[in-house]
Amino acid sequence: MTCTTSRHGKRFAIHYQLDFIYQKALKMASTFTVLYFASAHTYTGKSEDTVPGPMAISKLFPYLEEKYPGFRKKVLSSCALSVNLNYVDLIEDAEKEIQNGDEVGIIPPVSSG
């Protein structure tokens, strides 16, 4: 009796863990992460967002503007952008695609000191 319950419980735990990993993988497979630094963090009130991908770099700012009205003019217009810790240029790299699982950094210029 005790044997079966413990086996049952173990099975459940494994299922649970697998489910968690699948969920995470599923999320990774269809989204990328946007990290908000400095004033981007202040404006959104978040340190990151999960965004459905893939997405061309040129589409990211309009997407974020829709999510946070006024974001583009107040913050994004002067930001540097990185994809997987590589600086990307909004114009030259406009058509490059952000892949699912990528990590995008929104880096506003900090000028105080």
Partner 1 sequence: MEKFSLGSENLDLRIRIAELERELAEYRSGTVANSNGHATHAVNEDDEDEEEEDLAPQNQDDKAVRLDLDEFRRYGRQMIMSEVGLDGQLQLKRSKVLLIGAGGLGCPAAAYLAGAGIGTIGIVDHDLVEPSNLHRQIMHTVEKVGQPKVKSIISSLKRINPNPKYIAHNYALTPENSIDTLEKYDLVLDCTDSPQTRYMISDACILLGKPLVSASALRSDGQLVVLNNPPGEGPCYRCVFPRPPPPDSVLSCGEGGVLGPVVGAMGVLMSTEALKVLLSKADKKKRRKPAHLSPDIRPADAKDATKKEETPEPKKFYMTIYSAFSETPFRTIRMFGKRKTCQACSPVATITKESMKNGSLDYVAFCGGKGSGKYPPLRKDEIINVEEYNKLRENKEGGILIDVRDDIQFGMCALENSINVPITTILTLPIAPENDGTDGGERTPIPIPSWLPRDASIPIYFICRLGNDSRIAVQRLKKSGLVKGNVIKDIKGGLWEWSRKVDKSFPLY
Among 54, 90, 100, 102, binds partner 1 (CB under 8 A): 90
Output the smallest distance, CB 84 to partner 1, in A.
9
- Reading the block at residue 60, the tokens are 């990211």
Q: Which stretch binds partner 1 (CB under 8 A): 6-14, 17-25, 26-34, 81-89?
A: 81-89
Q: Does 96 bind partner 1 (CB under 8 A)?
A: no
* Distance, CA of 101 to CA of 51 (rounded, Å): 10
- E-strand spans in 19-79? 31-36, 48-52, 55-56
- Reading the block at residue 21, the tokens are 């990993």
What residues pair up with 51 in beta bridges, in sequence order? 32
Q: Cβ distance 98 to 53 under 8 Å? A: yes
Q: Cβ distance 84 to 103 under 8 Å? A: yes
Q: Does 78 bind partner 1 (CB under 8 A)?
A: yes
Output the smallest distance, CB 24 to partner 1, in A.
17
**Residues between 38 and 77 with contacts to partner 1, criterion CB under 8 A:** 38-39, 41-42, 47, 58, 61-62, 72-75, 77
- Reading the block at residue 110, the tokens are 């900090």
| Residue ranges binding partner 1 (CB under 8 A) | 37-39, 41-42, 47, 58, 61-62, 72-75, 77-78, 80, 82, 85-87, 89-91, 94, 105, 107-113
